[in-house]
Structure 1
Amino acid sequence: MNKQRMAKEQSVQEITERLQSSVTAVITDYRGLNVAQATKLRNELREVNVEYKVLKNTLTKIAAQNVGLEDLNQYLEGPTAIAFSTEDPVAPAKVLAKFAKDNKALEIKGGVVEGKVVSLEQIKALADLPSKEELLAQVLRGMQWPLVGMANVLAGPLRNMVNVLEAVRKEKEAQA
């Protein structure tokens, strides 16, 4: 087997593994981005532990078929780069949507979320979701408020008693 074919088979294997191990993979058309913009995008994605790879469509189609994602082929036209996230399913969609808003040259095509092929609209909806940290903060805040309310209710009679005692003290001082 020649070296070129071996290299292509190795690339297909790597793409297949990335598609299997990623919770989210967002497909983009990067045509029109200059080097500075592409570098900035890669840095922003790297900050949230997302890998951004320019891939050959034919090799990606073979890898997609290997993992049962044949519907992905519709998004594999023209220059293609894919953002892979193995941790946070929302992170690549958020970063890419924000970047695409500021840089019209970047086009989001579609992607894969937890093993399902999704459209551009679904990627945009995913980008609008709060991040994992924001959701956890909302849950903790929701759990904390009933406790704070209960503490205030329980402290109310004690506070009222202190106010009554203070009024009695002031009244006795005024009489003396």
Structure 2
Amino acid sequence: MDRSQKEAVVAELNGVFNDAAVVVVAEYSGLTVAEMTELRVKMRDAGASFKVTKNRLARLALDGTDYSSLSSKLKGPVGIAYSSDPVAAPKVATDYAKGNEKFIVIGGAMGATELDPAGVKSLASMPSLDELRGKLIGLIQAPATKIAGVLQAPAGQLARVLAAKAEQG
């Protein structure tokens, strides 16, 4: 890799760090190519990405971003998971770490807030943005449904009374 390629990688990573809502650092030592591919597919399906880069280039890319505190975690064979949804990358990384002991979550950051492995795990347990939107729509829609039911009830009762009188007479 020559100097211009390294500069391009640093610029690309710097853009990733500036756009990401959350970054998770994980050790992947001992994973096979098939396991790494499986991890990347799961990340992509959740709207996140997993990238393995040279630690020195990643440290250079971290300078000037909110995630500069992650420089100390970039030691040894580590990969970076990131997403624009604050829950997607931590959720996939934590779930994958449960099923594979070779994949270890070291920590992460959400903006300028540094997270330890327990912080990443607690972030992963939160509902995703889509789940929150669904709950919010359900809460907003419920009162309207109840109001419509209450407004229709008297008319329905009146119709039943009139039908009963018609049967009698």
TM-score normalised by structure 1 residue count = 0.85
1:59 corresponds to = 57
Structure 2: stretches of 5+ with no match in the other structure:
none
Larger radius of gyration: 1
2:96 corresponds to = 99
1:45 corresponds to = 43
1:31 corresponds to = 29
1:82 corresponds to = 80
| Moved beyond 6 Å, runs of 4+ | none
Q: 1-side partners of 2:147 and 2:157: how far apart?
A: 16
Q: Is the 8 A contact 2:17 2:67 kept in 1?
A: no
Letter in 2 for 1:121: A
Q: Tell me the C-alpha RMSD between the 2 structures.
A: 1.9
Letter in 1 for 2:42: E
Identity %: 33
The number of aligned residues is 169
Q: 1-side partners of 2:158 and 2:93: how far apart?
A: 58
With over 3 angstroms needed to count, the CA separation of the structure-2 counterparts of 1:66 and 1:134, relative to structure 1, is same
CA deviation after TM superposition for structure 1 residue 23, in Å: 1.6
TM-score normalised by structure 2 residue count = 0.88
2:163 corresponds to = 166
Q: 2-side partners of 1:94 and 1:144: how far apart?
A: 29
With over 3 angstroms needed to count, the CA separation of the structure-2 counterparts of 1:68 and 1:49, relative to structure 1, is closer
Q: 2-side partners of 1:88 and 1:70: how far apart?
A: 20
17-26 or 132-141: which moved more?
A: 17-26
